[in-house]
Every structure is written in structure tokens, then in C-alpha cells.
Structure 1
Amino acid sequence: MKRSMDAVHELLQKNRVDAFLVSKRENVRYLSGFTGSAGVILIASSHDYFITDSRYAVQSEQEIAGFHIQVLKKNEKVPERILRLLKKTRIGRLGFEPEDLRFQSFQELRKKISPIRLIPVTAGLESIRMIKSEAEVRKILKAVRRAEEAFKTVRKKIRAGISEREIALSMEGLIRRAGAARAAFDLIVSSGERSAMPHGTASEKRLMQGDLVVVDFGAECGGYFSDMTRTLFIGKRFAGKKRKIFETVLDAQNEAIRAIKPGKYLAEIDATARKMIQKAGFGKYFGHGTGHGIGLEVHELPHVAPKNRMRIREGMVFTVEPGIYIPGLGGVRIEDMVQVTVDGCRVLTTLSKGWKAVEGEV
């Protein structure tokens, strides 16, 4: 936590603000460990405060260390307590998170603390959160294993006749029984022509012979998430265009993973996968970015996308997930999670993904 707070104080200096209001739930948890739903952090030069209401008075004492805990009085609002705390210090500029603070709350806060200026700090903590500590990676790995074990169990049941919804519900139940608070997101199970929808949620459609089946799933551990995708084929003859797009995606993904190294631009990794798909003649069927960061949020920084000139740094954790989606035929996506190392990357996911793993009725 000390490393994180040191980085936050550097962020204050960089943005030339005297104090910083942290309101985004994931950022509050990142800095304090608080798992409740009502709490903000006020970081000033001399003191760091955690502000919550009476519902979380006991919980905050149990979960939080290193902050002066402030419990609101009955009918007291957060801006009023912030004003009281700021009066103890001489500040002129208060940073805030513009992506999280609603306009009404912004107006109320600005009015209450005037003449102190509110200064937007964009993607401040999100940039700090990009670099994962070993403790964070351990939680992510546990979330990966929970999801993988659920998939291994459910995969034995995946055959013609089962519905997409049955697969999703079975996996979600197993993920929870493994200890996760919840699945990482609404699990995606899309088959046949529906597999051409990148985010096709599970329906009552039943799997049929010859279907491609995209299964996108993830679990949780200690507030951290996993996210992975496998594409299966129902049948004994995996051939023709469906097999070609599968092998194209697999080759593109493997090549992109091999290309990951600190110092490269994230756009280079996207381009590696995208060029291979374009070369195979399927470029127009790959419409999304190649990956995204993952941690306290399923989708967070960094973005592995075209034109992203951010450089890859050791400690980043992100997905690599190229796909091809052809309307009327179906789609393929293969997604793994990687941790950037000093000279490359470590693949955190372990499920098999080659065509031999999917050919035949599973």
C-alpha cells in the first residue's frame, strides 16, 4: 500500500493539486482495502482521510489502516465533511476523478468548497493500477484457476442438444462454489451463427452439430478478476472455412503473445495480430482491439488497440484476444491473460486451445 500512496502523492505533484478526492469504488479499494459500497478518500499533504457513513463504521475499522477514518453524522453529506477537513489545511486546488463524479455531485461539491478550485485528474489512479504487485498477481491467478476449473468441468457436458444458457448457469454456479464472490461478468456463450456476435450473451438456443461455440468467462478473487475465451466445435469434421478462421485466430494470438516485450508500443501487439488476420483475408471481420488490462475491473488500462502509443511496462497484466466474426457463418475468439516480465511475458491462463482440443464432439 505504501508504494501505491507514494505514487498517488507523485500524481498530486504532477497535476499541481494540493489534495485529491478519490471516489471511484475500485480506486478506493485499491488504496484502502475497503470492500463496502459507500466511501471516498481525501488525500492531502499532511493527512489521508477515509470518509464513510454509519453503515460502514465497524467495517471500515476492520478493513482500513493508514487513514484517518471519518464517519458522517446523521444527515451530514460528504461535501460538508470535506469542507471541514479542508479548512484544517491551506489548499487552493482539489483534484477529483471526472470519470466517476456525477455532474450533480460535482456542482454540489464545487458550491460547498468554493473558492477552492476543482481540478480534473484523468485516469490518474488507473495508470498507477496498470502495474500489478505480486500480491495482486496472486489474486488474479487464483481467479484464473477458479474459472479454468469451472470450464474443465462444464466442458465435459458441452454437446449437441445442450442450451447456451445451461452452459452459462453451470459455469457460474461452479465459479461461485470455488469461492468467487461472483463471475467476472455475464458469461458469454454463443453458438452457430450467434457466435459471430462478439458479446452474444447466453440464450436458450441449443447447440447443434457443426456449430462453433464461443465461451467467454472469468471469475473473481479478492476483488480481482480473470477473463478468458475458448472456441469449441461441435462435430467430428472440423474443416473448411470454420477451421480456417479458427487456425488464423490461433496463429495471430500466438504471434501477438510472442511479440510482447517491455518498451514496445501496445499498438505493435495489436498490429501483429491484425496483420496476420488481414493477410488471411479476414481483416474486415476483426473489429475490436486485441486486448485490455484486467485487475479490479474486467476492462481497465492498458488497451491493446490500434494507435495506442503507450509503451508496454513490466508488471502490466492484460488479455490477448483476437477474433474473426463472419455473419451467417459464425465466429472465433481465443483469449488468454499475460503478465509482462522483464524480457517478455508470462501466460497466466493454462487451458488448451489448439484445434486438436476442440475437434470432435466434446
Structure 2
Amino acid sequence: MAHKILAGFAISNASLFRRLGVPLGDPAAWLEIDDEKIALVRDLEMDRVRSKSQADSVTCPARHEPMSGLSADRETATAQAAAELFRSRDVSLVVADRTLPYIFAWHLQQAGITVQYDDELGVLDRRTKSEQEIEYLAKAQAITEDVMKLMCETIAGANVTGSGQLQIGGQPLTSERIKAMAAIEFLNRGCTTGHGAIVATAPHVADCHHSGEGVLKTSVPVIVDLFPRDESTRYWGDCTRTVVHGEPSDVVKAMHAAVVAAKAASTAALTAGNLAGDIHKAGEDVLIEAGYPVSRGELTDQPSIQHGTGHGIGLDLHEPILLDHGGGKVLAGEVFTVEPGLYGRKVGGVRIEDMLVVTDGEARNINQLHDGLDWTT
């Protein structure tokens, strides 16, 4: 049986947090030696970790001091103690995940322990979600949709000036203003928006990850992409809708219809055992057949396809695997976003994003919100 280590700061390392159960801001490590799971944490955190983790034992660096002593630096001391703990059990080889800090690898090596990399450790075990994790994601997505509805209705219900610019309360309605409003609404619901938000329209939306800037205008589509983290669980929501104030043009209506059809095609293909690349291709083919070119890495004036179909989601906003060309088989219980889009400098962009749970049959859509362009109440 392989001996394993994950280490770092659980507040930012989702795989470590998932094992410790506490988002620690101090260095920590998770060791697996034979069948024993050991949490190595600061002495002040031992009781909390005992109550939250699935560890067989919880210990602290002071209990595993090497002959040379422990450093006064906490991260160094934790790495020294991890190495000493393995050494004391006659472990000569440990398997690490992609996030292992070099300080831990270095101290293991200094103790004569070989570190072997496993690209699936901390990835494969997180891909398939438990029912509890799916509930956490559904809760985060419900909050996301609640704020999304409010933001889209705010844009749709704004006043318009003679020059076509949107206003609320006599002040211009800007991308920045909507993002600030959304951030406040999320804070009031126990969520944070550390990655910000996207409220983008032409011409900036041609860059599909541009967060958006400037005054919003009537008849021009606005992509609203919100992705908060529920601080009570640390799981993420992620939802995109497109709103048009006033009447959309025929070009925008055609874009929207194609994106809706692409989302339906990819969703129908999102079944356990299917290749992620084929799931992406199902939607991309719909967009291509509707006359839209693929133009990755090159911004275009007219609508084009700029990205893959979606990504895994959980304790990180973007988790493996991607729904894109070359992607492997999807697993029952995985949770993905499905978010086809079209983007151009002149007419703007359309993107619609749902969160779905993979099953052996039809994927389960967590979203409840409509995906139309009209958000007038």
C-alpha cells in the first residue's frame, strides 16, 4: 500500500481542507501510513480537527521532533515533523499530489525518503461528489441564481437616456455598479466573491473572460456571470445568464437560439462514461452548423466560439476535468458547468451556464432559473 502525503495551508488547498475538515491558516499535513490516516496540525487546532476530520489520529509537530530539533518557523517545523513521522515508521517512499509545497518535498528528501508524484491524487477522489457535496453545491447555486435574477431584472428595468445608455436613480448603470451590487447581495447571503464577477457587453465581451467595464446600453446583450463561494460550506456556485434591455436584434436572437441549442446538445451527451471531448463537440457542432466559426485566442468583430463547454466544480471554482477537446471519460456523481457562448466586438456576446450532476442516464440540472434574454418583471 502506498504511503501518501498532502500538505500546505488548508484555507487555500481544497484537497487538504477536504481531509482536515477545517480551513486552517497555519501549515498542516495529511499523512497516510499503511491504513492509518494522520492529521499533523498546530497544537492549537488539534481539537477542532479531531471533531471535523476523518483522521484516525491527530498530532502536532512538537510530538515528532527530529534529533536536530524543530525550527521556530511553523511551516519548516511542520515539514520537519512530517518527515520525522515517516522516518520513524521506516517509510522510504511517499506519494504526493500536485500541490505539495517544495519545503515538504525537500525535508522528506533530506530524511532519505523518496517522493513520488501521482497526478490523480487529490483529483480523482474529488471528481465524484457525495450527496452531501451535491447538496452544498445546490445551495450555493440557489443563492447564485437568487442574485442573478435580481441583477438581470435590475438591468432590464433600468431607465434609458436619449443616447441609449442605461440609468438607475439618475446615475449611469455601469458594469462596475452591477458587480458591486452583486457583491453586497452575496455578502448578505453568507457568500464571498473573491474571484469577482463578469458583467460584460460589447466590445469588451469579445474577450470572454473580460470582467466588463463602462455604461450598459439598451438593446445590447449583457453577459452576467456570477460565481460566489458559500462560506458556510466553501463550495461554489457558478451561473451565467444573458440579459437585453429593450428589444434584442435579430442577430442577437439568432445567437441566443444557437447557444440554447448547443447547451441542450451538450447536456444530452453529459452521461457517465462519455468522453468530455465528445460532450463539448456535441454543443460546438451545433454552433458551427449555425454558421459560427471557432476562433480561440483571437478576438473577432462578429460572433465566434472562444472556449470549451464547461468545467468541474466543487471546493474550487474550476476543477478537473474540462469539458473540452481531449477530455477523458466523465464519472457518475461528477458536477460540471455547461456554458456554451458566442462573442463578438460589434454585436456583443451570449453565454448561458447551468450546473449539472452526471448520472448513468440524463444529467440532473441544479439550475431553476430561465435562460431567456427578457428579464422584465
Alpha carbons of structure 1 residues 66 and 271: separation in structure 2 relative to 1, 3 Å: same
Q: Tell me if the contact between 1:96 and 1:118 (Cα under 8 Å) persists in the aligned partners.
A: yes
Alpha carbons of structure 1 residues 184 and 315: separation in structure 2 relative to 1, 3 Å: farther
Q: Distance in 2 between matches of 1:66 and 1:101?
A: 19
Query: Within 5 A, what are the aligned runs for 1:53-72?
Result: 53-54=42-43, 56-72=45-61
Q: Tell me if the contact between 1:52 and 1:70 (Cα under 8 Å) persists in the aligned partners.
A: yes
1:57 CA drift (Å): 4.2
What amino acid is the match of 1:223? R
Gaps of 5+ in 2: 63-70, 159-165, 168-172, 295-303
- Equivalent residue for 2:185, pick from 174, 177, 194: 174
Corresponding position: 1:343 with 2:361: yes
Alignment correspondent of 2:337: 319
Q: Distance in 2 between matches of 1:331 and 1:171?
A: 20
1:46 CA drift (Å): 4.2
Q: Tell me the alpha carbon deviations over residues 94-153 of structure 1, each in whole angstroms, 9 at most, x when there is no partner.
A: 1112x32344x2562244321x21101113221111111100001001001111111222
Q: Tell me if the contact between 1:192 and 1:207 (Cα under 8 Å) persists in the aligned partners.
A: no
Percent of aligned pairs with the same amino acid: 21
- Equivalent residue for 2:371, pick from 312, 331, 353: 353
- Equivalent residue for 2:5, pick from 6, 21, 38: 21
CA RMSD of aligned residues (A): 2.0
Q: Distance in 1 between matches of 2:43 and 2:198?
A: 38
Deviates more, 1:67-76 or 1:238-247: 67-76
Alignment correspondent of 1:206: 215
Q: Tell me the alpha carbon deviations over residues 279-324 of structure 1, each in whole angstroms, 9 at most, x when there is no partner.
A: 112122212110100000010022100121x222211100101111
1:33 CA drift (Å): 1.0
- Return the structure number with greater helix share: 1
Alignment correspondent of 1:108: 106
- Equivalent residue for 1:142, pick from 139, 148, 159: 139
What amino acid is the match of 1:290? T
Gaps of 5+ in 1: 1-12
Deviates more, 1:280-289 or 1:268-277: 280-289
Q: Distance in 2 between matches of 1:304 and 1:65?
A: 32
- Equivalent residue for 2:234, pick from 219, 223, 228: 223
Alignment correspondent of 1:267: 277
Alignment correspondent of 2:324: 305
- Equivalent residue for 1:153, pick from 127, 131, 150: 150
Q: Distance in 2 between matches of 1:314 and 1:80?
A: 40
Q: Tell me the alpha carbon deviations over residues 166-221 of structure 1, each in whole angstroms, 9 at most, x when there is no partner.
A: 111111111121122x1363111112322222111143x11111221011112333
Corresponding position: 1:296 with 2:307: no
Aligned with 2:122: secondary structure? helix
Q: TM-score, normalised by structure 1?
A: 0.86
Q: Distance in 1 between matches of 2:332 and 2:194?
A: 25
Q: TM-score, normalised by structure 2?
A: 0.83
Alignment correspondent of 2:21: 33
Alignment size in residue pairs: 336
Q: Distance in 2 between matches of 1:83 and 1:291?
A: 39
Deviates more, 1:170-179 or 1:48-57: 48-57
Q: Distance in 2 between matches of 1:107 and 1:312?
A: 32
Q: Tell me if the contact between 1:143 and 1:218 (Cα under 8 Å) persists in the aligned partners.
A: no
Alignment correspondent of 1:287: 306
Alignment correspondent of 2:93: 93
Alignment correspondent of 1:4: none
Aligned with 1:119: secondary structure? strand
Alignment correspondent of 1:124: 121
Q: Distance in 1 between matches of 2:281 and 2:317?
A: 23
Alignment correspondent of 2:250: 240
Aligned with 1:100: secondary structure? coil
1:86 CA drift (Å): 1.2
Q: Distance in 2 between matches of 1:113 and 1:51?
A: 18
Alpha carbons of structure 1 residues 65 and 275: separation in structure 2 relative to 1, 3 Å: closer
Q: Distance in 2 between matches of 1:272 and 1:354?
A: 21
Alignment correspondent of 1:9: none
